[in-house]
Copies of this chain bind each other. A is one copy, B any other.
Amino acid sequence: MSIEPTNDLRITAVKVLDIRFPTSDELDGSDAVHVDPDYSSAYVILETDGAHQGHGLTFTIGRGTEIVCAACRSLSQGLVGRSMSDIVTNFLEFHRSLTNDSQARWIGPEKGVIHLATAAIVNAVWDLWGKIENKPVWQLVCELEPRQILELTELRYVSDVLSHDRALNILEQQAPHREKRIAELRRDGYPAYTTSAGWLGYSDEKIRELCLQGIEEGWNHFKIKVGQDIEDDRRRCRIVRETIGPDRHLMTDANQRWEVGEAIEWMKQLVEFKPLWIEEPTSPDDILGHKAVADALRPLGIGVATGEMCQNRIIFKQLMAADAMDFCQYDSCRLASVNEILAVMLMAAELNVRCCPHAGGVGLCQYVNHLVMIDYVCIAGTHEGRVAEYVSHLHEHFADPWRQKAGAYLLPEASGYGITMKPDSLHRYAHPHGSVWVERAAK
């Protein structure tokens, strides 16, 4: 990989912003564990000596965003003065300078706060690279040779499940079909599902209304939150199933609410509503627990989905190798950007697991909109049985918001990684000194 010397940019400063939206007011995004989320982001801007800036973020839900911002500041100290050409020519080496710093790795490694911060920074690097090349990030990747894609993919600690040669083989097998698939995506988009209907804080009437509205708009998959009260869950599942009919899909999401045995017993009481999957039945760290749940529920027609809080590719490797997961819901900000997500997509292709990435929050749809295209074009080669999450929250704050139609994400056309937020939003929602938060504090 290289950047034309005439296009190259040098990073001159790194700005880190704490941006929070007071979504807990309306219980948008509420679930059995995260009862009052204020959708937020640690937002990184790479300033340069040229015409472009790189924008990247990691998604958070309120308190704690300041800690991720502190980590973004610490980890990005070495970036000022570096040229983008230097970074992308040795992208994996750059990536490891963040994930594997000989001192900072102690407070991870590759998990939690420092991995979220790494994602924000590396997402900004990808955005800047895309803007320099005047291409959306999905296109940037889809125009790389298989060998070049592997040069920037983090396969460390997963070689026992996916060797370098096998990964290359997957990419090479799919390469001849890239152009045709891009044309298909430009026409039809990539299948998506909506979570807007089923937040735990919503009333029965609101759920019914949102389902009807979703059907009218052309959605075929509907997800609701479960896990706080079994009678509530049965009532809400019945409402959704009655409203969407027998042929559309209902998914359920427990957001880590249960012990392993509890998850199995609870979901047996929801079998009659035919959920496609149970998402996050228990701790996201519990590979063998998910395996037990999957073994118990698969015969009843319920799959296991997890991933939005799975910390890195090493956890995904095990979930896949143990056959503990039917749907892989990697998160575009919890994993350390495209470089690590490519490894997860490749393992999923190798082990025949369906990637249905997590989205919603702040900006996750923007990222997923690129990632599913890369997966379809270069790696999985199919989207059968796959469906990317879609939530319409907060898209109004982005300069180039994702576009969708009838249950599908459309191919992004703007250059970069699509996350650039409007200056007015960055200004007003900055925490705690933006006008939105100052006004709330005054009340």
Contacts and interface: CB of A to CB of B under 8 A. Distances in A.
Given A107-B113, A112-B113, A113-B71, A312 B285 contact: yes
A287 B105 contact: no
Interface in A173-196: none
- Interface centre among A36, A159, A287, by most chain B C-beta atoms within 10 angstroms, is A287
Which of the listed residues A66, A70, A115 has the most CB atoms from chain B within 10 Å of its own CB? A70
A309 interface: yes
B318 A103 contact: no
Nearest to A74: B67
A260 to B, nearest CB: 4
Given A106-B34, A115-B112, A285-B311, A70 B66 contact: yes
A68 B107 contact: yes
Nearest to A107: B64
A110 B112 CA distance: 9
A95 to B, nearest CB: 16
Contacts of A112: 107-108, 111-115, 311
A283 interface: yes
Interface string A111-148: 11111100000000000000000000000000000000
Contact of A64 (B62, B106, B156): B106
A288 B321 contact: yes
Most interface-central of A67, A111, A114, A318 (chain B CB within 10 A): A67
Interface string A152-186: 00001101100000000000000000000000000
Contacts of A67: 67, 70-71, 74, 104, 107, 113-114
Given A64-B74, A67-B114, A68-B107, A288 B287 contact: yes
This protein's copies in its complex = 2
A413 interface: no
Interface in A47-70: 60-68, 70
B113 A114 contact: yes
Given A33-B105, A64-B104, A287-B287, A292 B113 contact: no
A369 B159 CA distance: 39
A287 B160 contact: no
Interface in A62-94: 62-68, 70-71, 74
A71 B112 CA distance: 12
Contacts of A318: 286-289
B159 A261 contact: yes
A315 interface: yes
B103 A322 contact: no
A12 B372 CA distance: 51
Contacts of A285: 110-111, 157, 311-312, 314-315
Contact of A259 (B34, B35, B159): B159
Interface in A15-41: 33-38
A366 interface: no
A109 interface: yes
Nearest to A318: B288
Given A38-B103, A62-B103, A111-B285, 9 more contacts: A60-B107, A64-B71, A64-B114, A111-B112, A157-B285, A159-B260, A160-B261, A288-B318, A289-B318
